[in-house]
Chains A and B, each alone.
Chain A
Amino acid sequence: MRALHTLRTLLIGAALPFAAEAQTIAITGGTVFPVSGPRIERGTVVITNGTITAVGANVAIPDGAQRIDATGKWVTPGLINAATNLGLSEAGSPQFSGGYNDVGATRTKGISAAFDAWEGINPASTYIIPTRQDGITSVMVGPGGGLIGGRAAMVDLAGATVASMLVRAPAAMTATFDPSAGSLQSRGELIGALRDLIADAKVYATRRAAYESNQTRTFAATKADLEALQPVVAGTMPLVVAVDRVSDIQAVLAMGRQYKLKLILLGAAEGWQVATELKAANVPVMVGAMSNIPTTFNTLNSRQENAGLLRAAGVQVILIGNGPGDGATFNVRNIRQEAGNAVAYGMNWDDALRAVTLAPAETFGVADKIGSLQAGRAANVVVWSADPFEISTRAEQVFIRGVLQGGKSRQDELAERYRRLPPPFGNP
């Protein structure tokens, strides 16, 4: 069963699942931030059947279009948080929802390459509505850890089924450059284990028939995992590596060069110290902007300027929710605050917007669908009361694939019930 999944790559047409509900909408008068191009004062965004069909200052508005006056508002692509476990846990427990690790596999060697985390997404998770209420329209959903933790997918935050949410699945393989992730003791052992794994994946690809008739030596991973690693060792599927320390980053970059891997770094607390190397290697980096504590000996030089310094060196930077308060589920929405802090600590504002829209879309191969306001892209569009990164700003209208999102969250219902005390305990 899992072997079947390993060969599957789902590329979902963005507009299709919602085409029946969609219509023609013209968002007019706002300051439009296409991200793929310069901002447009008093711009118009036209949405037709779930897809953006026109963006500009002088755009003909189709007859019968529903007009949304965004005068004085800011209009951006829906934001993307590219490091989440959204929909995989409820009440802090993966057991109450989809779960984010292949425990059976990771318990032994930390290798569960064939684990598809997104298959456990619960589209009814109570955390999805609050996330999109804050203008986040797409997220990457990935495994919770592991030396090779498994595969992550990009999903839109609308849809009644997992299949209808998918934008690209799988979009990346995930890994953790930490000996403890593989129940190992040392860096050398870790690098050796990864080399063995990559070598075995390559040998396996040439000896599948022999493997099936037990004519090969024992490989470092299961058949399913070796199959899952094929696009990674072929350099076609990104490998997201969680790594922080400078020397570890350099070790990962060296492996990337040696095996021609398509690397993405995650965390990269000390990345700013090797920004030019990262730029030279053309490796995108996923970082938070609210981290400055040497929480471990791997993150001694963690600092809030990391994102800005990396970007200034020309690195493709993706901002992720790395702050306190369960940034991977309950507070996936706080990616806005991360972006604001990135700007406060030196990142150019336009680059920060890019880092939560087009940069993750490009990095995970979905820029043809989401991440910018351009004709032909899925209509994931947010109308903001003001600057989307400012705390007082509200996402007033959130469109996903052209459909205006609404609905009360569980948190909304609780707030309404207890707005007056004692509470009525009827339906609010």
Chain B
Amino acid sequence: MHALLKSRRIMVALTAIATAATANTVSGQQTSPAPIWPAGLGAVSAPNADPFPSTYRPFPSRPTLIRNVRIFTGVGPAIANGSVLIENGRITAVGANVAAPAGAVVIDGAGKSVTAGVIDTHTHLGVYPAPGTAAHNDGNEATAPVTAHVWAEHSVWPQDPQFPRDLAGGVTTVQVLPGSANLIGGRSTVLKVVPSRTVQGMKFPGAKYGLKMACGENPKRVYASRGPSTRMANVAGYRNAWIAAEQYRRRWDKWLADKQGDPPARDLGNETLAEVLRGNILVHNHCYQADEMAQMIDIAKEFGYQIRSFHHGVEAYKLADVLAREGISGSLWADWGGFKMEALDGIRANIALVHAAGARAIVHSDDPSGSQRLNQEAAKALAAGRAIGLTISDEEAVRWFTANPAWALGIEDRVGTIEVGKNADIVLWSGNPLSVYTRAEKVWVDGAMLFDRLDPAARWRTDFELGYVAPAGGSR
């Protein structure tokens, strides 16, 4: 009877999907793809299930023309004195001469630059918020080496004052990951950097989840007393997890195909891993050393999943040809290294060498301060590449913090470049974004200007900051 009831509700839901598909845009914005299974079926392990759906809606916006500005489009050469038109949250025109529609806000960008909104593939914003307190220490479920069942979004504190600071650095999209204590740390989430009461109100509509995996020293250090305590046990741990996940996936996919009998028991951890195996969740693998990255690639092939991005990868330059061949991006620091054995071989040309080998290079932060200055981090990586004789344009370096991270998060069809039809996540920089003296001046998210350095009184202040942190305008 229980199963019957479910079947009936599934039928209702399937018809609902057809209507949802057409109603699936709000203010010109795509929202989440409708879940295949509807609400109320928590006992069913559904592909692309979305039990915590995004409630993000773009903020009010006005048609805006930024003219006479240098545009780093992210696709090809920069446009020297171009214009970008934003309407209804989208980019509707880009070029040398764009007429301003009636009533549009016109911004003169003389001496300034425009890029797509900065995207950081590696943050712990909200899960390790500021101020750092034990009560908010929510980023690492360091109680077992495999915690595929946890979701970072359930730890995100939307009032983390690090969010508005990231926005002021031009960052419009972040991936929030679980920490690296575990072999498999859980699901990541992709967030818009916007004020919201809830994490659901920040979730990037339709973005796939990520899975955080970690190589090397951290898991074996954290679990030294109970295992894994060695790299070989790390690898055994991943493989055991994937063996169980593959069994789970087959059992569920068979039931989903034929609906014979009761559904199999649901398991949150295996459900996430099964979604990786189905290609519905992207793998983000914290891994420093080249030798370990090569092993992780073999594990991915053994179980039939793709690694979307190696994170930190201080030795990515040693394996850059392989990363290019395998289509794996590198989410990397500009100049971190030396702070532990597996970081010993960090070099400043890492990002540039990975780029030169034809792999997708990304400058990431893993740090709430560095995240605010990914443009400067890219500039350091660019300078290091040029210092060893690599020919890399400013335009290519801008892609390291815009288009390439968009690809790593699977949202490259929506954000990451200045192209007609893309979401209007845009930064107006006070100068060349690769200069240390340049600051993000205005930042638009889906066409809405959410940061204006010239208007401190309008600055987003989190609940936490009220009464604790002096406001930027007036009294400050």
Contact = CB atoms under 8 A, between A and B. Distances in A.
Given A344-B437, A390-B435, A337 B130 contact: no
A294 B161 contact: yes
Interface in A296-341: 296-297, 299-301, 303, 323-326, 329-331, 334, 337, 340-341
A396 to B, nearest CB: 11
Contacts of A295: 130-132
A340 B379 CA distance: 13
Given A290-B369, A295-B132, A92 B161 contact: no
B388 A415 contact: yes
A330 B338 contact: yes
B131 A344 contact: no
A234 interface: no
Contact of B367 (A91, A324, A329, A330): A324
A127 interface: yes
A418 B372 CA distance: 30
A414 B369 contact: no
B347 A414 contact: yes
A391 B383 contact: yes
A362 B306 CA distance: 57
Given A294-B469, A325-B367, A419-B353, A340 B437 contact: yes
Contacts of A301: 469-470
A325 B333 contact: yes
Given A324-B370, A330-B338, A92 B343 contact: yes
Contacts of A299: 131
B437 A343 contact: yes
Contact of B336 (A127, A296, A330): A330
A160 interface: no
How large, as a class, is the contact surface on chain B? Answer: 35 or more
A326 B336 contact: yes
B400 interface: no
Q: Which of B131, B321, B367, B386 has the most CB of A within 10 A?
A: B131
A269 B368 CA distance: 16
Residue from B376, B379, B383 having most chain A Cβ neighbours under 10 A: B376
Interface string A378-405: 0000000000011110100000000000
B454 interface: no
A412 to B, nearest CB: 8
Contact of A330 (B132, B346, B370, B383): B346
Given A300-B468, A391-B376, A415-B317, A323 B369 contact: yes
Given A91-B341, A323-B369, A294 B333 contact: no
Residue from the set A324, A337, A343 with the largest chain B CB neighbour count within 10 Å:
A324
B436 A391 contact: yes
Given A330-B339, A421-B320, A391 B435 contact: yes
B206 interface: no
B436 A341 contact: yes
Contacts of B346: 330, 411
B349 A415 contact: yes
B339 A293 contact: no
A165 to B, nearest CB: 20
A326 to B, nearest CB: 5
A313 B379 CA distance: 32
A: interface residue count bin: 35 or more
B281 interface: no
Contacts of B379: 391-392
A294 B130 contact: yes
A92 B340 contact: yes
Contacts of A91: 338-341, 343-344
A330 B318 CA distance: 20
Interface in A101-155: 126-127
A116 B318 CA distance: 40
A337 B437 CA distance: 10
B357 A414 contact: no
B345 interface: yes
Nearest to A133: B387
A293 B436 contact: no
Contacts of B476: 303
B253 interface: no
A411 B333 contact: no
Contact of A294 (B131, B340, B347, B436): B131
Nearest to A325: B336
A392 B318 contact: no
A423 B436 contact: no
A153 to B, nearest CB: 22
Interface string A266-309: 00000001000000000000000011111111011101000000
Contacts of A127: 338
Given A340-B437, A390-B437, A292 B367 contact: no
B469 A392 contact: no
A72 to B, nearest CB: 18
B352 to A, nearest CB: 9
Nearest to B353: A418
Interface string A42-68: 000000000000000000000000000
Most chain A CB within a 10 A radius of its CB, from B338, B349, B437: B338
Nearest to A349: B437
Contacts of B319: 421
B383 A392 contact: yes
B249 interface: no
A392 B434 contact: yes
B365 interface: yes
B290 to A, nearest CB: 9
Contact of A344 (B340, B345, B439): B439
Contacts of B130: 293-295
Contact of A418 (B318, B341, B383, B386): B318
Given A91-B344, A293-B162, A394-B383, 15 more contacts: A294-B130, A296-B131, A324-B336, A337-B376, A337-B380, A341-B373, A344-B437, A389-B437, A392-B379, A392-B383, A411-B348, A415-B388, A421-B319, A421-B321, A423-B318
- Which 4 A-B residue pairs are closest in the complex by CB-CB distance? A340-B436, A330-B338, A92-B339, A391-B379
Interface of A: 90-93, 126-127, 273, 290-297, 299-301, 303, 323-326, 329-331, 334, 337, 340-341, 343-344, 389-392, 394, 411, 414-416, 418-419, 421-423
13 contacts: A91-B340, A127-B338, A292-B369, A293-B165, A294-B161, A294-B464, A294-B469, A297-B131, A330-B335, A331-B336, A392-B383, A411-B346, A418-B353
